[in-house]
Structure 1
Amino acid sequence: MDTTGKILFINEALYRLILMILTLGQGVHSMPVPTDIPMCTASETAQYRLTFTGKWSQAAFPKQYPVYRPPAQWSNIIGVTHSSDYHIWQRNEFASNGVREFAEKGEAWTLMKEVEAAGERIQSVYGILSAPAVVGGTGQMNTEFEVFARHSYLSFIVRIVPSPDWFVGVDSIDLCDGDQWKENVSLELFPYDAGTDSGFTFSSPNFETIPQDRITQITSSFPSHPANSFFYPRLKHLPPIAKVMLTKIKKTNQIISLPVEPTQSNQLPTGNEIEDKLINTPLDCEVSVWSPWGLCKGKCGDSGVRHRTRYILMHPANNGAACPLLEEERKCFPDNCL
């Protein structure tokens, strides 16, 4: 079984496990811990459709774009509906063991246990939602979920595959506005580093971060290292790598509805309202440092020539700066002539 096949098998197994959990128990219907944050006063529950769209294309992110073993793709989405006192992850805070395992390996077992424990302990989690993986950097996954006044927040996480510990997601978006539910919410997503693995590139080997760092957003200039797969010093901001649309739909008797089969599209959708103009990010040529000067070649008594060379580290793309000269020469006089 090749690498992509193994990932598909794991994603389908995880998806079916989550579906079984959701079937056995449709969320936790407990009273939340009181907080000072104003509560939603909507009188009825609301049902939403979540549409996740991957925008991780080679044109938008040409640097080190993974094309095989495995190619660019997205993991299952893991999300929860909850009250304001719960967070599945937070920017500038440490990732839990569950988030760590999911961000690094795509394994959701520990994360699901943490969510379940939070629902039982602090009574803040209402329901769990999931959708199958997107096999490609561009493509979609959909799911439906329900919220109600005491648990009006949504959080989720999706792993970037392949990557050391990178993900996209949302932390605590409130779908309630006073006594009304929001009709539509559109969010652009950018990559985050879970702070648990120190790799710089999509295909970096496992290199544990000791001590663990906090969750940070990856930008075009941070981490400031030329080896970083998202390092584009010419850009002020990275283009969004994904997008999520939350649309309020007509209420049904089901708390959650999941698609039957995993999405296997690797192209952006066409002919619908969520299609965006494709972005072409310029990638400048990168070259190595110069080699030492070679031996002086020439006849004794006459001037000769010596050379030095460098090689291309990164070919340019999308009208990025062209590569400079890769060879130089200069005059010299041969040594040790007899």
Structure 2
Amino acid sequence: MKNFTSHTVLVLCLLITPNFYAQSIANYTIVFESFWETPAADATNGISSIPLPSNPHWSPIAIATHQTANSILEMGTAASAGIELIAEEGLTSAFESEVTANTDADKFIIGNGLNAAQGTITTSIQVSSDYPFVSLASMIAPSPDWFIAVNSENLRSGNHAINNGWKTTYTVDVFPYDAGTEEGNGYSGNNAATNPKDVITSLLDMAPFDGVNTNMSHRIGTVTFNYIDSTLSLDNINDLENVSIHPNPSKGKITLSNLKNKDLISASIYNILGRLVKDIPVKKGLSKLNIDLTHLNKGVYLLNIKTANSTTTKKLVIN
């Protein structure tokens, strides 16, 4: 009887265990709560060491969902034209164009603004597991180029047993940032442009956001990601369930059937040791695939097939 090493057993287990890449969709509400105020007016949360302007407000919140971190917004780098326009004027059109043109991005959402220094803004979003990162920005208005932002918040938990892998409701602190595009250290929007432009920097503990509060964090607000519900695409899970191999066992010539409407990407044959022995060319739109394995020795093999949504491995026996 042939002995298998632990490495062989591990490879075999990896090959014969179905790996499903089912897409999940989750619904959240994003709730921004502003604490922007002076310590004299709000001893608990107030952070502005100078009086607020006569018309303090927040611009509409611009939200993007994307696939990888820092692909939409990154602190410590130069602000994009879209972020600059949000920070200086509270306008979202340029940022929307950037997100729409970014192949790493999925959705662009515009939330409400807030016509007061303190209050809440609630925005509903739908997030795909393929694009689990959320970034957002809103102008501290009026100001030279100050804004709040959440950069690349990943809503996936990694625990697929709970909420289909989505994080439950949680809250993060948000802080003021300087876009590095306009001069000024007070609440005024009419200032000279910074030349050359600087990078996005934190205004944490910097004037005018250096007031003393009991929380000692000098946060300007919070963002709560409120989990509502989620779904898992069963179509993806069952994508390869009905694909069949016949005859099996065989003399080496087999047919892979039930491929209609399956976006087949690849088909490969491995021996029992987990070594690739044959790559099989595939074409889109096949209803069946004839495979000639008569050149292989008798024995047990593994057929690994992949579609755009899932992967599975089936055992082959050649007599």
Q: Write the mapping of 1:169-248 to structure 2, written as runs, cut at 5 A.
A: 169-178=149-158, 179=160, 180-203=165-188, 205-220=190-205, 222=206, 228-232=207-211, 238-248=217-227
Gaps of 5+ in 2: 1-19, 232-319
Quote how far apart the aligned CAs of 1:171 are: 0.6
Which TM-score applies when normalising by structure 1? 0.55
Quote how far apart the aligned CAs of 1:73 are: 1.4
Q: Cα gap change, 1:97/1:204 in structure 2, threshold over 3 Å: closer, same or farther?
A: closer
Quote how far apart the aligned CAs of 1:112 are: 1.1
Paired residues of 2:66 and 2:72 also in contact (CA < 8 A) = no
Cα distance in 1 for partners of 2:217, 2:101 equals 36
2:47 counterpart letter in structure 1: F
Paired residues of 1:87 and 1:171 also in contact (CA < 8 A) = no
Cα distance in 2 for partners of 1:90, 1:154 equals 12
Q: Does 1:63 align with 2:49?
A: yes
Per-residue Cα deviation, 1:76-109 (whole angstroms, up to 9, x for no partner): 0001111015532211011011111111011222
Paired residues of 1:50 and 1:143 also in contact (CA < 8 A) = yes
Q: Does 1:129 align with 2:109?
A: yes
Paired residues of 2:28 and 2:125 also in contact (CA < 8 A) = yes
Counterpart in the other structure of 2:79: 95
User: What root-mean-square deviation, in Å, do the aligned CA atoms of Structure 1 and Structure 2 show?
Assistant: 2.4
User: 3-state SS of the aligned residue for 2:181?
Assistant: coil
User: 3-state SS of the aligned residue for 1:100?
Assistant: helix
Is the radius of gyration larger for structure 1 or structure 2?
2
Cα distance in 2 for partners of 1:62, 1:147 equals 35
Counterpart in the other structure of 1:138: 118
Paired residues of 1:51 and 1:246 also in contact (CA < 8 A) = yes
Match of 1:168 among 144, 148, 151: 148
Cα distance in 2 for partners of 1:140, 1:234 equals 20
Paired residues of 1:86 and 1:125 also in contact (CA < 8 A) = no
Per-residue Cα deviation, 1:28-87 (whole angstroms, up to 9, x for no partner): xxxxxxxxxxxx96742111111111111232135222241xx22111000111101553
Cα distance in 2 for partners of 1:183, 1:235 equals 28
Match of 1:105 among 58, 82, 89: 89
Counterpart in the other structure of 1:250: 229
* Count of residue correspondences: 201
